[in-house]
Structure 1
C-alpha cells in the first residue's frame, strides 16, 4: 500500500511531468510503486531493477489487479514512463535503463496473456472476477457511494437472486444474536438504574465497568449505541429513559423482531461502526457483507483480508482477519467455518432489506417447489441448495401431489437425462410408497430407467422382472456416475464412503463392458479413490478397456433441454 516514499515519489513525478511536458499516468505508476514496495522489497526509487518490472507485470499484476487483457498497453506505457523518470532524475544509470527497456519490450506481448491466465489469479482477484465481467463496468462490489451516509451505490453490478429462509426461522435466529440480546440487556440495566450519560451523550466509564462486571459484556459501548439506534432507550437531556421500542426481546412478534434486525444490519454496515475493533475491517463492513451476498458461497478468510488490504487499508495496519471476523459472528451477520465465511440466513435477509431500502433491485430466487418436476430437479442440481433448503423444497413439492402423479412427473422429466439429473429424480421417487407402483412400472420399457424401476419395485416386495447381469452392471455405473460431482468436490469423504460400501472387485472388472456414457469417468474416479490396491488396480485396467472401446458421450455431450432452458 502507499507509504511515505511512494507519496514523495508521486509528487516528484507530477512535477517532472509538468516540467517536461510529459503525460504521466499517475494512477498506474502509483500502483507499480505500491506493489513493488509491498511484494518486491523496493523502499526507494533507486531500488527498481529490470527484474522488478518482470515480476510486477507478469506475476504481481496478473495475481492482484482485476484488469482485462486489453488494458496491458496502458500499464506497459506507464512502466516506460517510470523508466524515463528514473533515468532523468539520476535514480538509475543509462545501462540499467537500457536493460529495463529491453525487459519491458520483451514483456509487452506476454502481459495480455498473463492477465487472462486464471491460474495466476490470487484469491481475492479470483473471487471478484467470478462475480462476472459486468462488475468491472462500474464500481467494484463493495464500494460505497460518495453520497451522504455512505449508502450502497445503486450503480453496482446487478444483485443475484437469493433464497430466504421462512420468517419464523429468521426471527428465531435473530432472538439468539449475542449483540442484539446484549443491547436489550444493557437497555434494561441502564433504565432500571436511573443512569445518565456524559455531556457528550456517551456511556459513563463507571457504568461501562459495572456493565462488564455485572453483565459480562466486554465492550458495552457497542450494545449501548445499538440500543440508542433501535429506540430501546432514549435520552432526556443526559438522563437515560426507556424508549418506545423497549420490550422484552423474547415476547416481541416476529415481524417486529425482523424490523429491528433490519435496522441493526443498517447500523452495522451503513455507516460503519466499531464492531470488530479493527479499523480496516470496520471501514469495510459493507464491502465484506456485499461480497458475501453476491458470492452466495463460503469465501476464504484470507481472501477477505487480502481484498481489504488492497482496497481499504492504505498505510494502516490490519490485525488477524480471523479475530476480526469473530466480532462479526458475534454480531450475527456472518457465519465463520473452516471452509470460509458466509452470511447467516438472517444476515442475508438483513442485507436484502438494506439494498431495497436504498432503491436497489434485490430479487428473490424462484422456489423450485412451486414449479413442475423439471423446475424442482433443475433447482436441486444447479442451485447448490443447502441440505435443509433442498429437503424443504422436496417435501413441499411432494405434498402438492399424490404419489403416482409425483412419480410419473419425476421420471418423465428425466428420460434421456444425464446420470446426475436422473439420480436426483430416482432418489425422490424412492421416498414414495407402493401407491406409486403403476407410474414406476410404466417406465420398465425405458432402457435407462428400467433398472431403477426394477430395483424400486422389488425393494417393496412388488412383482418385478429380475435384473439381468447386464442391467446390474449398468445401474451400478449409473449410481456411481451420480456421485461424480461429490467425488470431485470432496475426494477424501468420497473415498471413505466408497471404501465402506463400494462395488466388489468382480463387479469393477466387468464395468468396462457397460454401454454407459460415464463409464470411463466412473472407473477413473474409482481408480483414484479406492483404498484397496487390488480394487484400484482393477478399476485402472477396466478404465483402459473402456477407453479402448471409445465409449464416450455423443459429440457435445448430452443436453437436458429442461435444464438448458
Structure 2
C-alpha cells in the first residue's frame, strides 16, 4: 500500500487542510524536523530518520475474536463459506471450475438471493457466481479431477476452522478477500471507455492502448491507497461517533494543496476524484471495509445544478440529508484492521494504542519518548489502568531517573501518569521528596492534588527543576516557537534577570544551555532575553 503523500503549496508551506475539510493536523502533515528537531543537540539526530517516512497514527482495534465475528458477518464472505460447505462431499463443475448450468440457480437459492419457487433472477445468479469465484480464490473450494476425468469441487482445508470461528483463519480469509476486491475495484475503474469489440488496428496501437490502461490502473490504485490512508488517519483522530467523512471532504484532502482554498479549477478536480472514488469505495463496502453511501446518481441528471464538489463544499451549509446525497464514507474497525495490515506488509510502522503499555514502566516511558507516532496519554492510561496505585507510582518514578537526552521528557510523562493514578500515589511521591532529580517535580504534583505539608524545595533543587521542566517542553514541542513563548512568560524571572540567570547558568543539567538559548531567542522582554543569551554563552563555556 503506497504511503500517503499530501499535496503541498510549496516547500515552506505550513498551512492546514482545505476549508471545509478536517481541521486536525495529522502527523503525516508535519516535517520530521518540526516534530523532533530539538533532539539533535543531544545526539538524537533526526538524520537517522527517513525523510520520506509516513507517520501513521496509532489506532485502537477490537480483539481478534470480535474482528473475526465482524468478518464472518460480511455477506460476501458468508456466501463463500456456504457455497464451500455446499460442495461436500463433491460437486461437478466445468473445465474452468465454474458451477455447471443446472447448479447455478440452486446456488442462488441456497444463499437466499432467489425465491425457492420459480425462475431465479439473472442478477441473483450473477451474485452467486461472484461468491463462488471468491470462494475458489480463497481456496475455500478446491477444484480437482476424478479418476473418470470429471471436474469436481470439494471443500478446502480452511473451511472447517473458519466455520468454527477460528479468528486467525477467518481474518486471513477476509484480508485476502479484501485484497482481491481492492484489486478488482482498481481494474474496473481503469478500463477504457471504448465499447468491447472495438479493437486496435495494429500492434503499435495495441501497445499504446495497453500502456494507457496500465497508466490508468496505477493512477486509480494510487488514488484509492491515498484515500484509504486519509480515512485511516481521520478515523484515528476522530471522536467516537464522528468517524463519518463526506466524500467531498475526503476528495478535497487529496486534491487541495496545503494552505489553499479550493479554486474553481480545483473544484472540478475534486468532482473528478469524487466520481472516481465512488464505485471503488462501493466495492470495498461489500467486504465490510467501509460503510458507504454512494453519490446520488440523480445529482448528475439535474440540468442546472452545481458540480458535486461545488455544492458539497460550498459556503451554504447543507442539511444532513442533502449532504448525504454527495456521498458519505466511514472506515469500519474491520477496515482499520485491513489497512493496518497492508501498511505493515509494506514496511510502515502502524502502531496500536496500548502497544507500548505491555512492558514495565521503563519500557513504557522509553517507548513513548522514542516513538515517532504515539499518543502518550493513551499509552500511559492503558499502563496505569488496573495496577496497584502505589506500586505503579514507585515503578514510574524509578523509570523517570537519569541524565540521558530523553530523561526530562520521561520525568514529564511520569508526572502525567501520577495525575492519572491520582492521590493514591502520594505515599510513593513522598518517598522521593529529597531525590535531586525527582524531588522538585513530585512537590509540584503533590501541591496540585492538595496534599498537606508539602515542604518547599531548596534553591538548588528548585532551579534544577526549572531547567528540567523547560527541557521537557523543548523536547515535547519540538521547538515550536509559539508554544515555547507562552511557557517562557511563566519563568520566575525577578526584577533582576542578571541575578536570576546568574544562578541558572550554573545549574548542572544537560539542557541548561539549550533552555537559556531558547529563552534568549523567544522572550519578548529585550533585557531578559539579553541576559539569557549571556547566561547561555557562559553555560556553553562551562560545558
Q: Please give the TM-score of this superposition, normalised by the length of structure 1.
A: 0.42
TM-score (norm 2): 0.44
More relative contact order, 1 or 2 (CA 8 Å, 6+ apart): 2
